[in-house]
Amino acid sequence: MPLPNIDEIIENFSLIDDWEERYRYVIELGRTLDPLPEDARNETNKVRGCASQVWLETSISRNVSGQPVLEFRGDSDAHIVRGLVLIVLAFYSGRTADEILASDVLELFGTLGLTAHLTPQRSNGVRSMVERIRRDAGAALQTA
C-alpha cells in the first residue's frame, strides 16, 4: 500500500486535540505500514540507536534531471514506533537527496507536538532514523 500523503497526516493531527487520541492515530498509522519481508529485517537495514527494533530499507533511482530520488520502506516491532516510522517515511520518501538534506522532519514533529509527548528513548530513535536517512541521501549525492 502506498504511504499516506504527509499533508493529510498533518491535517489529521490538527483535527485531534486529545493526546490519547493522537497516540491512537499514530498507532493506527503504523497498522497501515506494509511490513518488511523477513529478508529485509537484517543487520544492514537495522537502525542503530532505537530502543525498539527498527529497520529501514533505502532504494535510489534517478529523476528526469538525473538527481537521486530516495524511496524508503521501514518497519518496527513496536506499534507506536511503526506509526512514527510511517510519518518519517511519508515525509522523506520520494524526495531528491537535496530535498532530504534541506528538510527536517524533527521540525514537523515539534509542530505536531510529538516531540514533547515522546519518551526520550523514542525521540532518540526518531533522530537515529533521520540521521540514517540523511546519511543515505548524502551517499546518494556522492555517487551521483
Residues in Cβ contact with 64 at an 8 Å cutoff, skipping those fewer than 6 apart: none
Respond yes or no: is residue 111 known to be catalytic. Answer: no
- Write down the pLDDT at residue 144: 65
Set of cell numbers at residue 1:
500500500
In this prediction, residue 2 has a pLDDT band, given cuts at 50, 70 and 90, of: confident
Lowest average pLDDT, out of 41-45, 108-112, 116-120, 138-142, goes to 116-120
Q: Which domains does the chain have, with CATH numbers?
A: 6-142 (3.90.1010.10)
> How far apart are alpha carbons 94 and 96 in whole angstroms?
7
DSSP 3-state of 70: strand
> How far apart are alpha carbons 35 and 58 in whole angstroms?
14
- Indicate the average pLDDT of the chain: 93
- Write down the pLDDT at residue 92: 97
Express each pLDDT in 41-55 by its tens digit: 999 999 998 788 999
Q: Write the DSSP string, 26-65.
A: HHHHHHHSPPPPGGGSSTTTBPTT-SS-EEEEEEEEE-TT
Q: Of residues 29, 50, 84, 85, which has the active-site annotation?
A: 50
pTM to 2 decimals? 0.94
